[in-house]
């Protein structure tokens, strides 16, 4: 017990040092005014989450390397030395943070109460990942499907370095916005983490979410004056979803209600914020950078060149961690440029405008080249309301044409109805804020918050890639929450009678409570499985219903999943082989998702990958040109012969392991692992 407690304390100290100290060094490069003690303590973490991947990836564009804890320590020391030099010489630039609301600060009870609430919500959002934190790499499922690929992408960075190579095709680059995984790859060498990528990925997801929620509350605190409106904004950011559940109650499928609605043809969804917190930490990190840009634009004063450079650096990170959030930011930037167009007519402002564009182009160039190499196509989707199609058939050519035209003509109405279901009262209050922003005398800041969502919503709904709606809407949702809070703040409550206030408060609370059902039903479904996998329960705990009546809800804690026998070797490989090992694996196992639990690079045959239902996703992450090259230029010979001739093997010389599913191969030596399904050999150099 004492050893376990000491290990936990040691890991907590390592987390504090790894995420906070680099951020302190980055913070001290600038002389901040008006942040307050709390701001000085909390700002370093988001700065580190953005700054460390930015520096590492920029350096890797010049000299490829593997990110390690030692490299992070060297970077931190160098930043501290630079900040000390700037302080000594008096060269530090000054940035002034100022709130746009009343001079009175929020009461301590609000500050600490919100801090506890945000920590509690972040901890709950991590429950589906609890087994990854507790058991590390010794798991049979990730519960959340996307984590399979997140682990493989993290494996690419931890094993092959920066720029990363593809986890199945190491001779091809990893074509993905992987910057959020640089930090956990850096921390993967922690002895106390057991060298488990699954564990450090979970730790990083929690720190990332806490940082996002803290920055989001800082924006609410600096922008919204009444404490009640601020707390409503916090609720909308954390526990509130939409009315999705009432379109078709279910454990998780209600998030895809647009695909099953009889009056709508759509292939996308707009997930609740809680769903995004659980599923996509990398996109949440991009949204955090977006909020920091809003703070820089609205609440920070200082040199224009410095602020423009900081915005460009945040945009570079945003592009590297979530292309779709970055596209959403570009739309906001265009709206901002239109609203402040008189400023840019002045010739003196042109250098300030050119500076961030050039800086972004230079630092984002490697990621831009990767994005260009991706074979993802962007086009118009099939989003349309069913009008004539309901009478003569949805697939009839005349119905397609007429319904599409009617949808375009009535897009505000159709989109409003969709968003009312997706976001509920948040969307209603945002609409009230838009009306308020259209009045004469409204400032450009209010109009930016009002017009930016209106400009992006058609993109999120109409373009064919679902991630335009699923991920690109994240910044839009944040801005709509801010607009909703500002709409509440503008209500003159003192003019209402007591019973009016009671009725309004009752309706508001009941509506918010109804909107919590959708995200928290999904959370309960995933969290129960995460707890079950952590405890390793073979039988469910606490019977809730009879057999056949919704098996996923039959027990409060359902039975743990059974590991696939054909993948038992993965647990051995994750703990008994070097982290930079390369597994040459013939005839990949039939489990298309669980095979991604191997935290080592593989050399796989494209034909084997193509047999899997999810193989298309693996191919996409290798880029179109790379996949075509894999198929067209695959050399002859056996898989092992092709691996030995691989440029990756020739350059990196990783420890090689051959996984045979066709029996023993005496010519390869003595097996290092063997079971009913595979025989593994360690190949000597």
Asked whether the beta carbons of 95 and 32 are under 8 A apart, the reply is yes
3-state SS assignment for residue 480: helix
Look at residues 572, 563, 621 and name the one whose alpha carbon lies nearest to residue 598: 572
| Percentage, residues of the chain above pLDDT 70 | 87
Asked whether the beta carbons of 352 and 305 are under 8 A apart, the reply is yes
* pLDDT value of residue 251: 56
**pLDDT for 608 beyond 70:** yes
Look at residues 485, 477, 504, 508 and name the one whose alpha carbon lies nearest to residue 433: 485
Q: Which uninterrupted H or E stretch holds 555?
A: strand 555-557
The whole-angstrom separation of Cα 34 and Cα 111 is 17
- DSSP letters along 454-473, please? HHHHHHHHHBSSTHHHHTTH
**pLDDT for 188 beyond 50:** yes
Phi/psi at 671 (nearest 5 deg)?
Answer: -65, 145
Asked whether the beta carbons of 67 and 185 are under 8 A apart, the reply is yes
Look at residues 467, 471, 591 and name the one whose alpha carbon lies nearest to residue 148: 591
The whole-angstrom separation of Cα 160 and Cα 64 is 10
Asked whether the beta carbons of 229 and 489 are under 8 A apart, the reply is yes
The whole-angstrom separation of Cα 446 and Cα 165 is 44
Residues 321-339 have pLDDT tens digits of 999 999 999 999 999 989 8
**Could you tell me the pLDDT band of residue 552, with boundaries at 50, 70 and 90?**
low
* pLDDT value of residue 355: 86
Asked whether the beta carbons of 306 and 266 are under 8 A apart, the reply is no
**Could you tell me the pLDDT band of residue 1, with boundaries at 50, 70 and 90?**
very low
Residues 579-604 have pLDDT tens digits of 889 999 888 877 778 888 899 999 98
* pLDDT value of residue 103: 45
**Could you tell me the pLDDT band of residue 171, with boundaries at 50, 70 and 90?**
confident
- Preceding peptide of 163 cis, ω within 30°: yes
**pLDDT for 538 beyond 90:** no
The whole-angstrom separation of Cα 585 and Cα 90 is 59
**pLDDT for 671 beyond 50:** yes
**Could you tell me the pLDDT band of residue 456, with boundaries at 50, 70 and 90?**
very high
Q: Which uninterrupted H or E stretch holds 601?
A: strand 601-603
String of b and e for 508-539 (b: at least 16 CB within 10 Å)? eeeebebbbbbbbbbbebbbbbbbbbbeeeee
The whole-angstrom separation of Cα 660 and Cα 674 is 10
The whole-angstrom separation of Cα 494 and Cα 380 is 49
Residues 65-109 have pLDDT tens digits of 889 888 999 999 999 999 999 999 888 888 888 876 654 567 888
Beta strand segments in 289-362, E: 300-302
**Could you tell me the pLDDT band of residue 390, with boundaries at 50, 70 and 90?**
low
How many Cβ atoms are within 10 Å of 665's Cβ, its own excluded? 13
Q: What's the mean per-residue pLDDT of the chain?
A: 84
**Could you tell me the pLDDT band of residue 476, with boundaries at 50, 70 and 90?**
very high
The whole-angstrom separation of Cα 639 and Cα 605 is 7
**Could you tell me the pLDDT band of residue 55, with boundaries at 50, 70 and 90?**
very high
The whole-angstrom separation of Cα 429 and Cα 488 is 8
**Could you tell me the pLDDT band of residue 316, with boundaries at 50, 70 and 90?**
very high
Kindly report the length of the chain: 685
CA dihedral 301, 303, 304, 308 (to 10 degrees): -90
Highest mean pLDDT range out of 372-376, 431-435, 468-472, 659-663? 431-435
DSSP 438: T
The whole-angstrom separation of Cα 540 and Cα 533 is 11
DSSP 681: E
Residues 144-165 have pLDDT tens digits of 888 999 999 999 999 998 899 9
* pLDDT value of residue 629: 59
Counting other chains too, the contacts that 534-537 makes at CB distance below 8 Å and 24 or more residues apart are 534/130, 534/131, 534/134, 534/135, 535/560, 536/560
* pLDDT value of residue 179: 92
| Percentage, residues of the chain above pLDDT 90 | 29
**Average pLDDT of the segment spanning 223-242:** 89
**pLDDT for 48 beyond 90:** yes
Look at residues 575, 638, 579 and name the one whose alpha carbon lies nearest to residue 605: 638
**pLDDT for 391 beyond 70:** no
Phi/psi at 389 (nearest 5 deg)?
Answer: -60, -25
Secondary structure (H, E, C), 134-171: HHCCCCCCCCCCHHHHHHHHHHHHHHHCECCECCCCCC
The whole-angstrom separation of Cα 568 and Cα 582 is 18
DSSP 256: G
**Average pLDDT of the segment spanning 172-186:** 90
The whole-angstrom separation of Cα 256 and Cα 159 is 36
3-state SS assignment for residue 602: strand
The whole-angstrom separation of Cα 251 and Cα 554 is 12
The whole-angstrom separation of Cα 130 and Cα 220 is 30
CA dihedral 639, 640, 645, 648 (to 10 degrees): 90
Q: Which uninterrupted H or E stretch holds 308?
A: helix 304-321
Around 161, how many Cα atoms within 13 Å sit in the side-chain half-sphere?
Answer: 13
Per the listing, tokens 């009752």 go with 506
The whole-angstrom separation of Cα 138 and Cα 140 is 7
* pLDDT value of residue 479: 95
């Amino acid at each position: 017990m004492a050893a376990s407690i000491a290990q936990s304390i040691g890991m907590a100290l390592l987390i504090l040092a790894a995420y906070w100290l680099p951020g302190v060094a980055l913070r001290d490069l600038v002389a901040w005014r008006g942040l307050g003690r709390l701001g000085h303590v909390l700002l370093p973490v988001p700065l580190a989450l953005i700054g460390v991947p930015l520096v590492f990836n920029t350096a890797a564009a010049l000299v490829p390397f593997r990110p390690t804890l030692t490299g992070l320590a060297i970077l931190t020391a160098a930043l501290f030395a630079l900040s000390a030099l700037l302080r000594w010489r008096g060269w530090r630039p000054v940035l002034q943070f100022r709130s746009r609301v009343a001079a009175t600060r929020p009461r301590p009870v609000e500050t600490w109460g919100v801090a506890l609430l945000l920590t509690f919500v972040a901890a709950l959002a991590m429950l589906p990942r609890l087994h990854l934190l507790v058991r590390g790499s010794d798991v049979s499922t990730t519960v959340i499907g996307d984590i399979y690929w997140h682990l493989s992408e993290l494996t690419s960075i931890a094993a092959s370095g920066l720029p990363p190579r593809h986890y199945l095709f190491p001779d091809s680059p990893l074509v993905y916005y992987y910057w959020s995984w640089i930090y956990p790859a850096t921390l993967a060498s922690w002895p106390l983490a057991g060298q488990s990528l699954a564990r450090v990925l979970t730790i990083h997801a929690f720190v990332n979410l806490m940082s996002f929620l803290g920055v989001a509350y800082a924006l609410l605190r600096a922008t919204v004056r009444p404490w009640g409106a601020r707390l409503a904004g916090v609720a909308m950011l954390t526990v509130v979803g939409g009315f999705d559940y009432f379109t078709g109650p279910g454990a998780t499928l209600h998030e895809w209600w647009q695909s099953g609605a009889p009056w709508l043809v759509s292939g996308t969804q707009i997930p609740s914020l809680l769903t995004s917190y659980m599923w996509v930490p990398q996109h949440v990190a991009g949204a955090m950078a977006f909020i920091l840009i809003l703070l820089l634009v609205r609440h920070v004063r200082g040199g224009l060149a410095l602020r423009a450079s900081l915005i460009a650096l945040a945009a570079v990170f945003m592009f590297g961690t979530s292309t779709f959030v970055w596209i959403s930011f570009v739309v906001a930037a265009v709206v901002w440029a239109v609203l402040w167009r008189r400023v840019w007519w002045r010739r003196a402002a042109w250098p300030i405008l050119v500076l961030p564009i050039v800086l972004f182009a230079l630092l984002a160039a490697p990621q831009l080249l990767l994005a260009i190499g991706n074979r993802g196509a962007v086009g118009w989707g099939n989003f349309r309301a069913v009008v004539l199609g309901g009478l003569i058939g949805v697939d009839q050519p005349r119905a397609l044409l007429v319904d599409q035209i009617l949808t375009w003509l009535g897009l505000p109405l159709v989109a409003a109805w969709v968003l009312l279901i997706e976001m509920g009262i948040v969307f209603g209050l945002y609409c009230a804020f838009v009306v308020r922003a259209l009045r004469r005398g409204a400032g450009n800041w209010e109009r930016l918050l009002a017009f930016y969502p209106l400009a992006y919503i058609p993109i999120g709904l109409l373009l064919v890639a679902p991630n335009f709606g699923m991920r690109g809407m994240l910044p839009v949702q944040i801005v709509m929450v801010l607009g909703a809070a500002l709409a509440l703040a503008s209500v003159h409550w003192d003019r209402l009678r007591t019973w009016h206030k009671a009725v309004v408060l009752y309706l508001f609370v009941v509506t918010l409570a109804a909107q919590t059902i959708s995200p928290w039903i999904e959370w309960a479904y995933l969290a129960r499985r995460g707890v079950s996998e952590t405890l390793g329960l073979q039988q469910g705990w606490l019977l809730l219903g009879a057999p056949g009546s919704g098996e996923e809800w039959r027990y409060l804690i359902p039975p743990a999943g059974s590991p696939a026998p054909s993948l038992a070797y993965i647990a051995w490989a994750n703990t008994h082989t070097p982290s930079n090992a390369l597994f040459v694996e013939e005839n990949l196992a039939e489990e298309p998702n669980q095979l991604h639990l191997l935290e080592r690079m593989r050399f796989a045959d494209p034909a084997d990958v193509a047999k899997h239902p999810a193989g298309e996703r693996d191919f996409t992450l290798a880029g179109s040109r790379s996949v075509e090259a894999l198929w067209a230029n695959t050399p002859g010979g056996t898989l092992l012969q092709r691996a030995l001739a691989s440029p990756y093997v020739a350059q990196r010389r990783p420890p090689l392991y051959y996984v045979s599913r066709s029996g023993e191969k005496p010519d390869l030596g003595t097996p290092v692992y063997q079971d009913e399904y595979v025989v593994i050999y360690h190949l000597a150099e």
